[in-house]
Amino acid sequence: MQAETSITVLLQQFARGDKDALDTLVPLLYPELRRLARGYMRKEDHGHTLQATAVVHEAYARLVKQQVPDFRGRAHFMAVAAQIMRQILIDHARVRHAGKRGGGALKVPHDATDIAVEQPPAVLAVDDALKRLSKNDSLKAKLIELRFFGGLTADESAEVLNIPVVTVRRQLRVAQAWLQRELAGS
């Protein structure tokens, strides 16, 4: 509980413009951020070139650049960090996938028998599915992002979104089923 209070105080100091507070905060949260990044990396292809440490460091760099951070507590900070890490991986996957498809190289027509259908990386498929879900139900999309990309519990997600825990659990079950169906169909 005392560590939670310390983190909240540091987040408030950072929100007031004290960049040194973030330098103190990150070592406190680094193990959790690294666990999050490793969780992301486990879902990636084995040939993935980005490392968990690089994801955490890039997320830190993006957090520092925020003009007016407004973190309400540890759970909210972790939700924002998870969103940033997800975006880093999506950006990286898009660049890698574009390179595999030839990027800006000259397109050469293939004989129809030579065409192989290449599936996009899993992170892109999940991102596309979440974008579709957010158009219809932004709450469910946010809950999936917080739970699976942010590693937040139902209680933490309820705190971040300011909704009852029972609502989080019910909506998350529906969202998970929807996501599984979407990914199985693609």
Q: Integer distance in angstroms from the first to the last C-alpha of the chain? A: 44
Read off the pLDDT of residues 54-97 as tens digits, 9 standing for 90 and up.
888 898 888 777 766 677 778 888 888 888 888 888 888 888 77
Distance, CA of 7 to CA of 168 (rounded, Å): 24
| Structural domain contains residue 113 | no
Indicate the length of the chain as a whole number. Answer: 186
Cα torsion angle, 108, 112, 114, 116, sign: positive
Indicate the burial class of 90 (C-beta count within 10 angstroms; 0-12, 13-18, 19 or more): middle
| Structural domain contains residue 70 | yes
| Structural domain contains residue 114 | no
Segment among 12-21, 65-74, 127-136, 171-180 with least mean pLDDT: 65-74
Closest listed residue to residue 7, CA positions, set 26, 33, 34: 26
Read off the pLDDT of residues 138-149 as tens digits, 9 standing for 90 and up.
999 989 888 877
| Structural domain contains residue 109 | no
**Is the pTM here over 0.75, yes or no?**
no
| Structural domain contains residue 107 | no
Cα torsion angle, 43, 140, 56, 10, sign: negative
Domain that holds residue 73: 2-102+119-185
In order of 38, 51, 132, 139, the CA distances from 135 in angstroms are 29, 31, 5, 10
Q: Residues 78, 29: contact at Cβ < 8 Å?
A: yes
Please count the structural domains in the chain: 1
Distance, CA of 153 to CA of 142 (rounded, Å): 13
Identity at 171, one-letter amino acid code? Q
